[in-house]
Amino acid sequence: MVLKMKSVVLGLVWVFALLAASPLASAAVVEHTFNVGNFTAERLCNPLVITAVNGSLPGPTINVREGDTLVVHVLNNSPYNMTIHWHGIFQFLTAWADGPEFVTQCGIPSGSSYTYRFNITEQEGTLWWHAHSADLRATVYGALIIRPRLGKSYPFRKPYQELPPILFGEWWNRNVVDIENEIDESGGPFPEPDAYTINGLPGDLYNCSQNQTFQLRVRQGNTYLMRIINSALNNQLFFKIANHNFTVVAIDATYTNHYTTDVIVTAPGHTVDVLFTANQPVGSYYMAASPYHTINQPFNNIPTRGILVYEHSKSASPVNVTVPVNNDTDTAHKFYTNITGLAGGPHWVPVPLDVDESMFITFGLGLSSCLNCTFAIPGMRLSASMNNESFVLPRGRGLSMLEAFYQNATGVYTKDFPDNPPFEFDYTNPNVSNGVQTLSFAPKSTKVKTLKFNSTVQVVLQNTAILGVENHPMHIHGFNFHVLAQGFGNYNAARDEPTFNLVNPQIRNTIAVPVGGWSVIRFIANNPGIWLAHCHFDAHVPWGLSMAFEVENGPTPGTKLPPPPADLPKC
């Protein structure tokens, strides 16, 4: 009996030891409460009531480990309907938590709440969260940092310290919802920000901002991990620190081969993890984020600055930093295309070689008619389209798109988004494109492309010059994708397909398609639901630069979309 009891005890010890050593042992439930409400912030000598989370700008940083479950209770005490998107999270079988308004849920009404609950698996690095309703992401955003499981390490040498995340943003001296309503009436462009910001602070180049300059303190000789997030609404940004280099180790929460550079380039939605060494003489050094601007329209060209301060520095005047010229496409393209993925590293996904669905999607800006608009072109408003379809969110239809998918309901969207543009033309030649009148006025619609579960999809994203060429950051919800190739001009399969990187391409969730150029991406549609694909310039979304993928359910219970949570907001 004693021997039997001893063997049971030993068996339990063995089981507990196995559990402790298993990946599941390190998983945790991480819980946050987001109180979304209005508070007064002062920037540029201008006190302004803004909508933010927990009374801070940026909002709180979420720290999790790979494998954790994240639970966020959102209490909406703002005057607006509100949703939160967890940018870059796969949301496998948790599409109800993805967040884009009218796509996966309806807005959380003022005075109501909703709990987002999802697992974080097969992802490590830096992502972020932001509002996905109206233009509220201008002030409703924050970092989401995913560290390796306990017992696991980064695939690069351990830094001396991880620095607080750096989030780029924008500031307007007016309520952004009021601005959005006004441009909806006028039909014109979104105004440029009054300031760019680093962690909510404009920096000392702006009026009244000497005491609102972000500072970062380091110790000479040490190497640090810096996490950079472009949270801006409508601007791509260069980033430099005077006399310092960076080594890129991850982008969009996917590991990369090491790439050393003195300048970082980010589009809205991008994240970049870098190592940098404080290897300069003790002192202080300016850092700056400045616009990369590719379209011919007015913009704010004053960078936001912060200061890198070495321990024991007595410097009163930081070393100045020289930023690239605003239209330095060569520098931007070099950065965007020189990064490669860390093949074989943690969570690496090889490129799928057999393609089931091929799409060629043209996109860009255009016009639509408007009787009472006050835009510069009489009777017109700005519009945008993908494959000559200008996307409209299904407001007032009683269901979100995901609810319609789950219920197999009609009348919310149609399943006929085209695989190709209506006809071929010289896409990036502004002289030809401006004459293609039928494509300047794309019809308004709510269309999706239906994909079989687990199918491999290849998409050529082709910029057009119908109403000016621009570098557009295209984001796909619910998936990462391999970036196989990028270039300028019109994509040509015979010429460009042999250049595809099928070995170690970068993996992203947002791709900055080159100005007047193209990108080729590939992904596996292994997550059932409705997944928005759109330009991450917020101004372009209400104009129609979006579409959605409808991914069908898989063959097993574990590959089908579960029912919606009980507290899902109603339309």
Cα(172)–Cα(182) distance, rounded to whole angstroms? 14
Cβ atoms 256, 273 nearer than 8 A? no
3-state secondary structure of 377: coil
Cα(264)–Cα(166) distance, rounded to whole angstroms? 12
Mean pLDDT of 500-506: 98
Whole-model pTM: value is 0.94
CA distance to 95, 275, 492, per residue, from 140 (Å): 21, 28, 41
Cα(330)–Cα(338) distance, rounded to whole angstroms? 12
Q: How confident is the model at residue 413 (pLDDT cuts 50, 70, 90)?
A: very high
Q: Which residues sit opposite 457 in a β-bridge?
A: 357, 523
Whether 131 shows a pLDDT value over 70: the answer reads yes
Picking from 67, 61, 60, 62, the residue whose alpha carbon sits closest to that of residue 28 is 67
Whether 217 shows a pLDDT value over 60: the answer reads yes
Q: How many helices, marked H, and strands, marked E, lie in the chain?
A: 7, 33
Picking from 150, 151, 144, the residue whose alpha carbon sits closest to that of residue 64 is 144
Whether 118 shows a pLDDT value over 90: the answer reads yes
Cα(141)–Cα(167) distance, rounded to whole angstroms? 9
pLDDT at 333: 98
pLDDT at 534: 98
Amino acid letter, residue 309: V
Q: What is the pLDDT of residues 196-212, one digit of tens each?
A: 999 999 999 999 999 99
Q: What is the pLDDT of residues 309-358, one digit of tens each?
A: 999 999 889 999 999 999 999 999 999 999 999 999 999 999 999 999 99
Which residue is it, tokens 């695989």? 419
Q: Radius of gyration (Cα) for the chain, nearest Å?
A: 24
Q: What is the pLDDT of residues 48-60, one digit of tens each?
A: 999 999 999 999 9
3-state secondary structure of 29: strand
Cα(344)–Cα(314) distance, rounded to whole angstroms? 46
pLDDT at 377: 83
Q: How confident is the model at residue 4 (pLDDT cuts 50, 70, 90)?
A: very low
Whether 20 shows a pLDDT value over 70: the answer reads no
Q: How confident is the model at residue 374 (pLDDT cuts 50, 70, 90)?
A: confident
3-state secondary structure of 137: helix
Cβ atoms 368, 390 nearer than 8 A? yes
Burial 499-512 (b: 16+ CB within 10 A, else e): ebbeebbbbbbbbb
Mean pLDDT of 151-179: 97
3-state secondary structure of 301: coil
The token duo for 411 is 């009348």
pLDDT at 15: 35
Q: How confident is the model at residue 108 (pLDDT cuts 50, 70, 90)?
A: very high
pLDDT at 25: 52
Cα(524)–Cα(395) distance, rounded to whole angstroms? 30
For residue 277, the tally of other CB atoms under 10 A from its CB is: 17
Instruction: Give the phi and the psi of residue 330 in degrees, each rounded to 5.
Output: -60, -45
Mean pLDDT over the full length of the chain: 93
For residue 44, the tally of other CB atoms under 10 A from its CB is: 16
HSE-up of residue 451 (Cα within 13 Å, Cβ side): 28
Residues 6+ apart with CB under 8 A from 250: 124, 125, 126, 256, 271, 272, 273
Percent pLDDT > 70 in the chain is 94
Whether 518 shows a pLDDT value over 50: the answer reads yes
pLDDT at 1: 36
Cβ atoms 439, 466 nearer than 8 A? yes
| SS3 labels along 256-318 | EEEEEECCEEECCCCEEEEEEECCCCCCEEEEEEEEECCCCCCCCCCCEEEEEEECCCCCCCC
Cα(441)–Cα(17) distance, rounded to whole angstroms? 65
Stronger pLDDT, 227 or 433, i.e. the higher one: 227
Tell me the DSSP string of 509-545. SEEEEPTTEEEEEEEEE-S-EEEEEEESSGGGTTTT-
Q: Which helix (H) or strand (E) holds 250?
A: strand 246-251
pLDDT at 440: 85
Q: What is the pLDDT of residues 71-104, one digit of tens each?
A: 999 999 999 999 999 999 999 999 999 999 999 9
pLDDT at 66: 98
pLDDT at 26: 64
Cβ atoms 231, 130 nearer than 8 A? yes
Strand 161-162 versus strand 223-230 pairing type: parallel
Cα(206)–Cα(184) distance, rounded to whole angstroms? 29
- Our measurement of the distance from residue 419's CA atom to the centroid of its chain's CA atoms, rounded to an integer in Å, reads 24
Task: Decide: residue 105, CB within 10 A, 0-12 exposed, 13-18 middle, 19+ buried.
Answer: buried
Cα(87)–Cα(477) distance, rounded to whole angstroms? 8
Tell me the DSSP string of 49-106. EEEEETTBSS-PPEEEETT-EEEEEEEE-SSS-B-EEEET---TT-GGGS--BTTTB-
Cβ atoms 151, 20 nearer than 8 A? no
Mean pLDDT of 268-275: 98
